[in-house]
Structure 1
Amino acid sequence: MLSSSARITSRAPVSSAARHARSAQTFKAFYATIRSLRQAYEPPEPDDLEPSEKDFILSLLRANPSLRDTKSYLASFGPRPQPPQRPAPKEEEKPLPTDNAVVAQAETKPPDIKPSPSPVVASILNPVYRRTALVKIQAPFTDRQLESIARGMVYLEKLGLLSVIVVENDQLPKGERGERASLMDETMRVVNALEGQGARARPVLGAVVRLGPKPGDEDSTEPRDYILPEAHTFPSDLVHIRSALRAGEIPVLPPLALDSFCRSVRVDANDVIAALVRGMGEAAALDSSQFHGDESPSLFPDEIDLTPLRLMIITREGGVPSYARQGLPHLLINLTSEYSYIRETFDPRWKPSHPTALSNLELARTCLAFMPPTSSAVMVSHRSPSHLIGNLITNRPAVSSSLPHALLQGNRKLTPHTPTLLRRGLPIRVVRRVDEIDKAKMKVLLEQSFRRELSEEAFWARMERDLDFVIIAGDYAGAAIVTREPCPEGVPSAISPITYLDKFAVLPSHQGDGTVDFLWVALHDETYGLGLPFSANPNGGKEGKGEGRDLVWRSRADNPVNKWYFERSTGHVRHGDWVLFWCDAEVRLKTEEGRRANAGLSYLMDWERGRLQTWCDVVMKIPSSWKPKN
């Protein structure tokens, strides 16, 4: 309900101009209120802060983290629990001192003992557990652009993420005279920009990586789907980076490496970054192996976890162009299942505006192979420093890739500078027969996801009869089970049978790592998005060939996931304790819209009549898959 307008406290007459201004404000307030039903709330700016501090706080608020996002952030950066302190030994009772003893104690100087700080003070002085990120700054940039980039690095440092920056200059040809001096100048420009934003930065002008594969890589027979770095580093080579991070300084490196003659030569920045990601991860593992018992690196305030948590590629180009959005960036990329297809569908016309998109895509795939499974990479434009905060706190794309395609197409937030989030991801496959399903693993997935006990005999009997297909992510980390529900006789063929989403499940350990979005995009491509060119992802299914069908599912009215369903469905209707959701087949919507000269669908079409009643009659009679709760 809209709030009543404020009372006018002044008795002075109101001019027509003032009334017009107030009327305009009232209209804007009403319009903003209506828009807020669909858009995230953006709080007003606080006026009592410095501009940089305002930007930082607003960037935090715009990130709009969920409870899961907040818990994940605190798990990575929050203070670590300290081991319980041992109780001090009780002192034996001593007789009261005599007068002479009191005088002697007063003349004796007490020992110089420094009081230990209280836990509250210690937590304020050292509020977060510091982690590291590898950052590629793909110059050249103007001073103003570098200022924007440096501001983003400072924001991340405030949140506990310390950056290790490698500077590249695409417009500096290799082998030219003065090449090294130009690289040093570009590195110092970045250092000066960081210090101009209040950060402490340290130029590391010597080479910290070595050319060539790491000893032993040639003999490795492990299967891998990434290209090994063309350089390597050892833990002893990271002394300057470790020293800078311990001192709270941001190390900034030029793309240099030592060759076999110990000469410092310029190499591709991607090779330096890939070598550092691998080397820093190995150094962090070595650090952890040196602690014993209850000790851990987090108990030592000067120690930094060198394991790279994020890879950030900052360019003038922004993200990777998408075939599904007419050249606007991909929002979220599952590298395991989409890497080859993205390369194959990269339009040559994008090459002039995105000359390094594919090489950076390959860099992300190589680096994420050496980073923790929860890590991500982000390709971002210099115009979007606030997106770095959103990525750090939520580890999600700026706009969810699983939203309805029509909404994504018309979303004003999507611009050429929208960042692309990249995850190592999981393989996605589609199976269409029950005997292709690992029933034991599926049972574990469903029961852990829904926290209920599966009624196995009845569930699998229904699957044998009605199964359409199952989308499986990884080794049963997630699954979407779709059935074809028969309708009573006389129901139009456009409605019968019903394509019903019976189960949509993701293991708790994979919730928040992109698996949910990967699954839903694959579900879209196999059901209501089928038949459109952007649904041709190689997920083992129909690869875009066929005719899309309406997708229907139900959810308990008190299910906390319903907010997510509301955003992705075409519509919903409440039915007792349930909510029925559906997604209209997108090809049919486009056809009907074309017949009406793009006037939009504002009234009930012939093919929709009786549809909701049929869905409710059939779907609400589907038996539960769970055993009764005790």
Structure 2
Amino acid sequence: MLPRIPASCSRVPPPLASARSQTFKAFYATIRSLRQPPPDPEDPPPDNDFILSILRANPSLRDTRSYLASFGPRPKPPSAPSADRVPAASKDLSTAQSIPVALEHPKPSPVLSSLLDPVVKRTALVKIQGPFTDVQLDSIARGMVYLEKLGLVSVIVVENDTLQRGEQDERAALIEETMRIVTVLEKQGAKARPVLGAVVKLGPKPGDDEFPESPDFSPPEAHTVPSDLGPIRSALRAGEIPVIPPFALDSFCRSIRVDSNDVLGALARGMVEAAESDTAQSNASPDVLSEEVDLTPLRLMIINREGGVPSYARSGYPHLLINLDSEYSHIHETFHEPWHTTNPTALSNLALAKTCLAYMPPTSSAVMVSHRSPSSLIANLITNKPALSSSLPHALLQGNRRLTAHTPTLLRRGLPVRVLRTVSEIDRPKMNALLEQSFNRILDEEAFYQRLERTLDFIVVAGDYVGTAIVTNEPCPGSPEPISYLDKFAVLPSHQGDGTVDFLWVALHDESYGLGHPFSANPNGGKGGVGEGRDLVWRSRANNPVNKWYFERSSGHMRMGSWVMFWCDAEKRLKLEQARRAGAGLSYVEGWEKGRLAQWGSVVGTIPSAWK
């Protein structure tokens, strides 16, 4: 018989007693789940939603190749022939030929096999920014389980916006929330492990003060070293999702609550450094598979109740794709005052993405998503693209029902974007390399630059010549105004699919047919949205696979033999014309449109080739 506990010692405040009871139940559920037998095969989990989520992602061939490069089977070194292997010339071919073809087992599709059974496990840093209801947590946990099936294992950091710093029992409340998430994950079929001890330390990392501070970047207020990541490594090795409350060790080795953004920033840096240390110590070839989960974070996922970062250019709807390198300050400057109430953590999460992506690989991305859109995480993982392309026409995005307050925001480290006005500003060797690699043809350099000397309007350059858009003014017979012609639009193959194409087209829009609208005042070193927009015209080979992309972004197109001519109407003029006609609407061909296609066609068809 157990000894009786005095009543005076057993009195616990009701809220805290309830919290402790729930914590114990969650912990017991965690241990109990390890002892449960596997589910009955006659009662399989509902995987239809998982398959549909993959299909809705609609990945292109390039997206699929990129996914397989990260998660698919990697080539293995050829094995030496065994001693007992019989030479092919001495085999009894009649035996082999007598095997019916029907008995041969078909090989599974490598794409399907890799999507549904990934070989390589990668990690994602996930911020679950509650509070959430049980139903909302179920939806979020289902998304985490789907990502794990695709090879992306989440390292989750918990946050609760309603729990103020310094509140009584805040530590118990955060532990309770951590255990609640563990329980929900296991309910959805995943293995999860609470990591309740602090894995980061407060303060800058020793040695950081030796490096000058950058005005555009500040390191996290916490740090970690590889030895601190033992609990996370242990959970990942066991196939479990680590769930971490926002605790850190202070200078007195006390575990205290800190901002979850500091924990995430410290983990992003520490996990990258630990992965680099693992590679250096093992001296393993990249072609050799490791049993360890790659600690380098591939994604940062911020799941909250607000959704993405609201955009002044989209009437408060979220940004679709953010180039942190060139847009970070501009977003702060254009952040409307009411959004501080409706989206109170948008800017702090924007800073978190900038901090984490500074340490993560260049191909990594961050996504800010509402709890209402967990399935979009699968699309982001497979395609690494925003839910809707940011370079689509503004009117189309505004009228698209899929663009809502809960549309996710994709964030990339990005590239600087600048506008050149003269040929003398061009770095010719870099421009030549960019054009020749993009088009896989030899540039007729002398003739090309001579033509630009006569006709150049402006050039948009992304990064260190990884992408460019060249616009010229082509004389038009019978018209006082030259044609604004997109002569070249090129992105290096190594940067196709990483957001550079959209960054480049948005800057092109802002400098040409989008001029005059306030949402064209983006920081690309150009006119800042001030001026009158002009119709933009270009041509493309009829068999160019990029034409589908052009069809979606143009106002119209016309076949010209082996060419297709595209154009984008000046948006400000269209807006004024629609306002003038009020409810009458625009006709199929307005007066100012008559004859312009013939004029454009006569000019565009005579522009000489730039290639040898």
TM-score (norm 2): 0.87
Is 1:420 the counterpart of 2:405 in the alignment? no
| Offset of residue 51 of structure 1 | 7.4
| Offset of residue 52 of structure 1 | 3.5
Aligned to 2:369: 380
> 195, 199, 205: which is aligned to 1:214?
205
Aligned to 1:517: 502
SS in 2 for 1:399: coil
Is 1:533 the counterpart of 2:521 in the alignment? no
* Aligned-partner Cα distance in 2 for 1:464–1:479: 17
Q: Is the 8 A contact 2:118 2:150 kept in 1?
A: no
**Cα deviations across residues 106-154 of structure 1 (Å, max 9, x unaligned)?**
xxxxxxxxxxxxx99x989964200000000001000000000000000
* Aligned-partner Cα distance in 1 for 2:250–2:332: 32
SS in 2 for 1:447: helix
Alignment map for 1:320-335 (pairs within 5 Å): 320-335=309-324
Is 1:581 the counterpart of 2:571 in the alignment? no
* Aligned-partner Cα distance in 2 for 1:624–1:451: 14
Aligned to 2:97: none
Is 1:86 the counterpart of 2:80 in the alignment? yes
* Aligned-partner Cα distance in 1 for 2:467–2:46: 42
SS in 2 for 1:132: strand
Aligned to 1:30: none
**Cα deviations across residues 51-77 of structure 1 (Å, max 9, x unaligned)?**
741111111111000000000000010
Change (3 A) 1:613 1:257: same
Alignment map for 1:18-417 (pairs within 5 Å): 52-89=46-83, 127-221=118-212, 223=214, 225-292=216-283, 294=285, 299-301=289-291, 303-417=292-406
| Offset of residue 86 of structure 1 | 2.5
* Aligned-partner Cα distance in 1 for 2:504–2:572: 21
SS in 2 for 1:596: helix
TM-score (norm 1): 0.85
* Aligned-partner Cα distance in 2 for 1:413–1:525: 24
**Cα deviations across residues 588-611 of structure 1 (Å, max 9, x unaligned)?**
000111111143323211111110
SS in 2 for 1:397: coil
| Offset of residue 420 of structure 1 | 0.2
Q: Is the 8 A contact 2:118 2:149 kept in 1?
A: no
| Offset of residue 235 of structure 1 | 0.3
SS in 2 for 1:389: helix
| Offset of residue 80 of structure 1 | 1.5
* Aligned-partner Cα distance in 2 for 1:544–1:204: 50
Which segments of 5 or more consecutive residues in structure 1 lack a partner in the other structure? 1-47, 93-118
| Offset of residue 89 of structure 1 | 4.4
| Offset of residue 244 of structure 1 | 0.5
Change (3 A) 1:364 1:295: closer
SS in 1 for 2:231: helix
SS in 1 for 2:437: helix
SS in 2 for 1:311: strand
Across the aligned residues of Structure 1 and Structure 2, the Cα RMSD in angstroms comes to 1.9
Q: Is the 8 A contact 2:117 2:150 kept in 1?
A: no
SS in 2 for 1:351: helix
* Aligned-partner Cα distance in 2 for 1:286–1:598: 66
What letter corresponds to residue 273 of structure 2 in structure 1? Answer: E
* Aligned-partner Cα distance in 2 for 1:201–1:52: 20
Change (3 A) 1:615 1:338: same
Q: Is the 8 A contact 1:128 1:159 kept in 2?
A: no
What letter corresponds to residue 188 of structure 1 in structure 2? Answer: M
Q: Is the 8 A contact 2:443 2:610 kept in 1?
A: yes
**Cα deviations across residues 511-550 of structure 1 (Å, max 9, x unaligned)?**
0000000000000000000000000001000000000000
What letter corresponds to residue 290 of structure 2 in structure 1? Answer: F
**Cα deviations across residues 433-454 of structure 1 (Å, max 9, x unaligned)?**
0000000100000000000000
* Aligned-partner Cα distance in 1 for 2:569–2:166: 58
Is 1:564 the counterpart of 2:549 in the alignment? yes
Is 1:599 the counterpart of 2:588 in the alignment? no
* Aligned-partner Cα distance in 2 for 1:244–1:407: 46
Identity %: 73
| Offset of residue 224 of structure 1 | 6.7
What letter corresponds to residue 156 of structure 2 in structure 1? Answer: I
* Aligned-partner Cα distance in 2 for 1:624–1:190: 61
Name the count of aligned residue pairs.
Answer: 547
* Aligned-partner Cα distance in 2 for 1:465–1:510: 30
Aligned to 1:548: 533
SS in 2 for 1:402: coil
SS in 2 for 1:352: helix
Aligned to 1:11: none
Which segments of 5 or more consecutive residues in structure 2 lack a partner in the other structure? 1-41, 87-106
* Aligned-partner Cα distance in 2 for 1:389–1:293: 30
> 580, 594, 606: which is aligned to 1:621?
606
SS in 2 for 1:339: helix
| Offset of residue 90 of structure 1 | 6.2
Q: Is the 8 A contact 1:83 1:294 kept in 2?
A: no
Change (3 A) 1:260 1:286: same
What letter corresponds to residue 233 of structure 1 in structure 2? Answer: T
Q: Is the 8 A contact 2:322 2:412 kept in 1?
A: yes
What letter corresponds to residue 625 of structure 1 in structure 2? Answer: A
> 456, 464, 486: which is aligned to 1:475?
464
What letter corresponds to residue 433 of structure 2 in structure 1? Answer: V
SS in 2 for 1:221: coil
Change (3 A) 1:573 1:143: same
Change (3 A) 1:322 1:598: farther
Change (3 A) 1:566 1:347: same
Aligned to 1:451: 440
* Aligned-partner Cα distance in 2 for 1:603–1:51: 53
* Aligned-partner Cα distance in 2 for 1:50–1:550: 57
Change (3 A) 1:155 1:224: farther
What letter corresponds to residue 300 of structure 1 in structure 2? Answer: S
SS in 1 for 2:303: strand
SS in 1 for 2:582: coil
Q: Is the 8 A contact 1:310 1:375 kept in 2?
A: yes
Q: Which consecutive aligned stretches of 4+ in structure 1 deviate over 4 angstroms post-superposition?
A: 48-51, 89-92, 122-126
SS in 2 for 1:369: helix
SS in 2 for 1:623: coil
**Cα deviations across residues 18-74 of structure 1 (Å, max 9, x unaligned)?**
xxxxxxxxxxxxxxxxxxxxxxxxxxxxxx996741111111111000000000000
* Aligned-partner Cα distance in 1 for 2:140–2:551: 36
Q: Is the 8 A contact 1:246 1:304 kept in 2?
A: yes
What letter corresponds to residue 362 of structure 1 in structure 2? Answer: A
* Aligned-partner Cα distance in 1 for 2:55–2:85: 53
| Offset of residue 84 of structure 1 | 1.7
